[in-house]
Structure 1
Amino acid sequence: MGRQLQTMRNRGKRRSPQPSVHTLTARVAELGFKDNKRRLALIDELLKKCTYYNNNTTNCTQLLDEHKDINGLVDQIVAIERGITISLPKRCDDNWLAFKQWLNDNEIDVSKVDIKWWDDRQGFGLTALSDIKETEVFLEICRRVMITGETALKSDLNLASFISEDPVLQHMPNIVVALHVIDEYCKTDSFWRPYLQCLPSAYETALYLSDEDVNQLKGTQVLEEVVKMKRSIARQYAYFANQLHTNDRAMKLEFKNFFTYELYRDYVRNCEGVVFVVHVFEWDVSDDCRRRFQINTPIITTNTAIIATPPAIPANIYRVRLAALLANNALWANRSEAAVPSAQALAFAAQRLLWLLLKVWCHFHIKLIIDLVFISANFIVVLMTNSWAVSTVMTRQNAIPSCDGQSMTTALIPLWDMSNHKHGKLSTDYDLNTDSGVCRAMNDFNTGEQIFIYYGSRSNGEFFVHNGFVYDDNCNDFVPLRLGISRNDPLFQHKYDLCKKLDLNISGVFRLHHKCQPIDQNLLAFLRVFHFNKDEIEFWLQNENISDIYSAECKSLTHLNEKIQQFLSNRSALLLIGYPKPESQLNL
C-alpha cells in the first residue's frame, strides 16, 4: 500500500514514455540467439534449484547458502533481460492527474480525500480534505474499477484460456491477478492503465534484499520466511517463463516476449497482500440480520496462523459446541437449516464467508459466543483473510465476494490501496447492496491530516517481510519460540500424557507477545507442564479443572511464575546471541 518505502521515488518529474509493445518485441529479436539460449538454460536451472531446495530447512547456514545460490542465478537472468525489461510505473504529476480523472470518470467520489507525498518513511498516502468523524465513510470504490480474478477471465481470451488449463493458476488466485496485471500493463489501451501507471515501481520489501541484506537477518525469526518467499517467487517465474515458450495457449499472450523476472517480481509484489475486511452481524428484536463493521475478533478459524484476542474458536471445537447447542435448544431443533455444518461448510465459514449463511446461524453463533464468554452477545465478527498465503500475506490483495456472491475473489482496489497503516481497529467492509468496498474512519481525522487504516494484527517481522516497514511499539509484535519437551526428560511420558489430555503439543512454535499483552495461554500452559514435578503432574491428571493450567489467574500455580520468567529471559538471551552485532559494537 502507500506506506511501502520505495527505492525509486518519483515526485512530479516528467518522464519519457515507456517503450511500446512493438518496440519491446523488436528488442527481443535483437537479444540474440546465444543470449536467449543462455537465458532459457538459466531459467531451467533456476527451476531445478528451487525444486531441490524446497525442503523447508530451518538451518541458518543452509538457508543462507540457498539464498546465495538462487540469488546468483536470478542475477544472471536479470542481467540478460535488461534489454527487454518493460519500464515500470512512473509516479509523475501527469500520471496522478490521469488517475484522478479516471476515478472521476468512473463516478468514484474522492471529495473527502486526496493523494499526498508525506515523507521518505511513509511515502504516498491519503489526506483528509475535510473533517471526517469516526465511522464516517470516506471512500467507496465500486467493483467496476477493481482488478479481480474474475476480470482476468473476461478481459483477455488468451489469458482466460491459459488460466482454464494451467493447474498452478487454478489453485493460486493471486498469481492469476498478477499475470492479469502484467497483461493489462502491457496494453496501451487498457481500461486500468491510469491506475497501473500509479503503482509503486519498487518497494523496500524482502523480495529486494541482497545477499548482504539477508545475511543481516541471521538469528532472526524472519530469515526462513524471507528465503522461502524469494524461492517461491523465483520458482513461479521460472515455471511461467517456461510455459510462455512451450504452452500453445500461453504463447499467444501479448506479453510473452518480455516476461522478465523483475516484471514478475514487481507485479506479484503488488498483487500479494490483504486489506482486512470485517463483517459484523447484529441480531435484534425484529429478527433482522444486518451487516456492520466493528472489531477484529474472528470467532472461528481453521488457520492456526491467525491470532485473535480473544482467541478464535478452533473449527473442531466449534462444531462440537454447536452440535450441543442445537441438541439442547428446542426452539430451533426442527429447523431444516439448523444442522451441524459439514467439514466443508466449516472450511467455508473459516474463510470468512459467514455473512452468507442464514439468520438462524447468526442466532447460534451469538449463543455460542455467550456460552464461551468471548465477546458481547450482540455481535459476531468475522475477519476475512487470504486463504492462499502459506508463508506470505503481502501488500495489495483484497478478498471480496465474487459477482454471484457464492465465493471469494482476489481484487486490487484502486485508491483504497493508497491508505497507510496505523494501529487501531479494522474499519473496512464490502457492501453487497452497492457492490462496493467501503472505508470508514477508524477515528476522527481533521482537515489536512493523513488518513490511516488498520492493516490487521501483524508482528513487525510480518510487516518487514510483506510490507517493507516496521511499526514503532507494535502491540501485536511477537517472537516465535521453538520449544519442546525432550524425550530424555525422566518425566517425558508423564508430561506427554498431561499434554495430550490438555490438547497441547509437546513441541512446536509458541509466541512470546509484546509486553503490553499477557503471556500467550498456550505458552503459559506449556511452560507450566515443562516445570511440573511428578506429584504435580499426577495431581493435574486427576483434576477435573485441568483447563486451569491455561489460566493466568490460577492461584495454585503462581509458585511457578518466577521459574517461567527466568526461563523466558534465558531463552531470549540465547536468541539475541545469534543476531549479528551492530557495527558500533564490533570493536567492543
Structure 2
Amino acid sequence: MGKTTNKDSNLVRKGLTRVKRDELKKLVDELLQKCSYSLSSPSKDWEIYSESWNLLEKIREMEKSLDRLRISRNESLPSFVEWMTKHDVKMGPVELAELPLYGCCVKAKKHINSGELLFSIPQELMLTTETATKSSIGHFINNDPILSQMPNVALAFHVLNELYDPKSFWKPYLDALPSSYDTVMYFSPDEITELKGSPAFDDALKMCRNIARQYSYFYSLLQKSVDPTLSNLRANFTYNDYRWAVSTVMTRQNLIPSQEEIVEGDGKEKQLVPLVNALIPLWDFCNHQDGQFSTDFHPESRRTVCQAGRDFGAGEQVFIFYGTRTCAEQLIHNGFVDTNNSHDALTLKIGLSKSDPLAGQRAALLCKLHILSDEKISGPIAFQLKAGPQPVDGQLLAFLRLFCMTKDSLDRWLQSDNASNLMHEECGIETEVDDKSWSFLKARCQLLLQLYPTTKEADLKMLEEDLIPHRRMCVLLRLAEKRILLSAIECAGQRIKK
C-alpha cells in the first residue's frame, strides 16, 4: 500500500502482515495477563508497571506503521473556527492563539471585564456519552460491560470512532486538538520515579496499569469482532491512539445536563436531569487558573455559556477555573500542577488496628460521627491535610482524638449527645488525649516527609535548572505536598500543651 497523505490519512492506513499481526496478538495477550495481576505490594506494583512499559514499547514499535499523520494545530485552526462560526458559536472579544509554553489557547483581543461573555456554544457541537450511544457504535457501547458502565471510557471510544471517520461532523474539532498530552500515560519510567514518596506515585501506576489493561482488552475484542460497524476501529485501533483518546477525555471533559426532557413528578416538582460527560469545543481550549466558576449550561437554549472570571487585559491569555482538585489530582488527570492552588490537599491514610482491644468502640464512635458507614474495620481511612495555616479539618481531628482515647473516655463520648464536638478544637477533651493526638499527627507527618527521596531545599534548587516538563511537574507536586506536611507539623507542635 502506498504512502498516505495528510488529506486521506484518517481513511487509508498501512496494515500489518499476518506474521506481524500474530506477534502483536501475543504481546497484547501477555500485556492483558500482566495488567490483570492482583496487586499486593508497592514493589510488586512497580514490577508490573516496568514489565508492562517494556511490553507497550514493543507494541508501539509494531504499531508504528498505523500511526496517524496529522497536520499541525495552526493549520487546522482556520477550519475549526469556520466550523464553529457555521454552527452558531458566539465568541466575545477572544481569539485562538499559539503561546509559548501553553500551546494553542484563548487570548483576549481587547480588555475584557469580569462577567463579560467569552463564548456561548450550542450543545449540538458537543461530543457526549449520549451522542456516543446514538452513533454507529452505540450498540457496541451499550452491550460491552466496560463501556456501558464507564461513561468516560465510552466517550473516549466515541472520540476514536469519529477520529477514524474522515466524514465525521466533529473532524474540524478533533483535528484542532493536541497531538499528545502530559498525562502520566506519557511519562517514562524514569519520570514516574520522580513521584516516589508522594501518594500520587501509586495513583500514577494504577492509572497506567488500567489504561494498558483497557487497551489490551479492547484490542482483542475488536480483532475478534466481525461487526462491519466496527471496521474502522478494528483496522486503526492502536495503543498510541487509545491513550490519546483517553487523555483527551480526562483533560477536557465536563458534565452537562442530558438532552432528555425534564419530567414533572406527582407533586409537580421537576425531577433532576441526569448529567452526562461531554467534550465542549472551544471551551476546552482555555487553560486553568485558580479562581471561581464562570461557566454555566443554559437548558432553555441548550448552550454552554462561559463568562470571564476576572478582568483580562488586551493580549492576555484568558483562563477559566476547572474546579476544586488537589495538585496530585491535577497532575494525574489534567497533566499540570497549579502552584497557586488554594484547594490543594494531601491524602493521609490512617486506620484502626484489628488487634486493638478498643477497636470496636473506636469504630462505633467513628460511625456515630459519620466518618465510617459501618463498624466493620476494613482498612485505612483517607483523610485530607489541607493547604494553608489550618491543615486539619474536623473529621481528621476527631479521628486523631478517638484514636488516642482511653476506654473511659471512649465510653463517655459514645454516650454523649454532643459527640460531634470532637470535630472542633474546643470540646472539653482531656489535655492528655489532645496532646497525644497532636503528637501522633506530628510524628506521622515527619515519617511521611522522610519517604520522599529529596528535601524541600533540594527540590527548590532543582527548579532553578532547565527541567523537562514532566520532571518539573513532579518537583512542583513534591514541593506542594511537603509544604502541607511541614504546615501540619508546625500546627501540631503549636497545639501540644505539655
Please give the range of the TM-score, normalised by the shorter of the 2 chains.
0.7 to 0.9
Aligned partners of 1:261, 1:87: CA distance in 2, in Å? Answer: 15
Find out whether 1:244 has 2:222 as its counterpart.
yes
**1:321-356 deviations in whole A, cap 9, x for unaligned?**
xxxxxxxxxxxxxxxxxxxxxxxxxxxxxx9x9x97
Once the two structures are superposed, the pairs formed by residues 19-418 of structure 1 within 5 Å of their partners are: 20-21=9-10, 23-24=12-13, 27-28=14-15, 31-51=16-36, 53=37, 55=38, 57=40, 59-88=41-70, 90-92=72-74, 94-120=75-101, 122-155=102-135, 157=136, 159-249=137-227, 252-273=230-251, 406-418=273-285
**1:245 aligns to what SS in structure 2?**
helix
Structure 2 unaligned segments of length 5 or more: list them: 460-498
Amino acid across the alignment from 2:384: R
Aligned partners of 2:253, 2:347: CA distance in 1, in Å? Answer: 24
- With a CA cutoff of 8 Å and minimum separation of 6, indicate the structure with the bigger relative contact order: 1
Q: Is residue 222–residue 465 contact of structure 1 (8 Å, CA) maintained in 2?
A: yes
**1:2-34 deviations in whole A, cap 9, x for unaligned?**
xxxxxxxxxxxxxx726535541xx20xx3222
Question: What does residue 542 of structure 1 align with?
Answer: 415
Deviation (angstroms), 1:47: 1.6
Bigger mean CA deviation after superposition, 160-169 or 426-435? 160-169
Aligned partners of 2:263, 2:432: CA distance in 1, in Å? Answer: 49
Q: Normalising by structure 1, what TM-score?
A: 0.69
Aligned partners of 1:189, 1:584: CA distance in 2, in Å? Answer: 54
Aligned partners of 1:214, 1:574: CA distance in 2, in Å? Answer: 22
Question: What does residue 476 of structure 2 align with?
Answer: none
Deviation (angstroms), 1:487: 3.8
**2:49 aligns to what SS in structure 1?**
helix
Cα gap change, 1:195/1:18 in structure 2, threshold over 3 Å: closer, same or farther? same
**1:184 aligns to what SS in structure 2?**
helix
**1:45 aligns to what SS in structure 2?**
helix
Question: What does residue 511 of structure 1 align with?
Answer: 384
Question: What does residue 426 of structure 1 align with?
Answer: 293
Cα gap change, 1:268/1:95 in structure 2, threshold over 3 Å: closer, same or farther? same
Cα gap change, 1:496/1:188 in structure 2, threshold over 3 Å: closer, same or farther? closer
Question: What does residue 6 of structure 2 align with?
Answer: 17
Amino acid across the alignment from 1:85: D
Once the two structures are superposed, the pairs formed by residues 519-558 of structure 1 within 5 Å of their partners are: 519-556=392-429
Aligned partners of 2:269, 2:314: CA distance in 1, in Å? Answer: 39
Question: Between the two proteins, what is the percent identity of the paired residues?
Answer: 33
Aligned partners of 2:390, 2:78: CA distance in 1, in Å? Answer: 45
Deviation (angstroms), 1:56: 5.1
**1:124 aligns to what SS in structure 2?**
strand
Aligned partners of 2:57, 2:170: CA distance in 1, in Å? Answer: 31
Deviation (angstroms), 1:527: 0.4
Cα gap change, 1:415/1:511 in structure 2, threshold over 3 Å: closer, same or farther? same
Deviation (angstroms), 1:464: 0.7
Question: What does residue 449 of structure 1 align with?
Answer: 316
**1:33-87 deviations in whole A, cap 9, x for unaligned?**
2211100111122122222x2x354x32111111012111111111100111112
Aligned partners of 1:410, 1:150: CA distance in 2, in Å? Answer: 8
Aligned partners of 1:545, 1:406: CA distance in 2, in Å? Answer: 38
Equivalences, count: 448
**1:143-185 deviations in whole A, cap 9, x for unaligned?**
1211222333445x3x234334333222222222222222222
**1:98-137 deviations in whole A, cap 9, x for unaligned?**
21111112121224211223331x3332122233333333
Cα gap change, 1:426/1:561 in structure 2, threshold over 3 Å: closer, same or farther? farther
Aligned partners of 1:124, 1:252: CA distance in 2, in Å? Answer: 32
Q: Is residue 276–residue 426 contact of structure 1 (8 Å, CA) maintained in 2?
A: no
Q: Residue 478 of structure 1: which of 345, 352, 362 is its match?
A: 345
Q: Is residue 108–residue 318 contact of structure 2 (8 Å, CA) maintained in 1?
A: yes
Cα gap change, 1:457/1:360 in structure 2, threshold over 3 Å: closer, same or farther? farther
Structure 1 unaligned segments of length 5 or more: list them: 1-15, 280-350, 364-400
Q: Normalising by structure 2, what TM-score?
A: 0.81
Aligned partners of 2:266, 2:292: CA distance in 1, in Å? Answer: 26
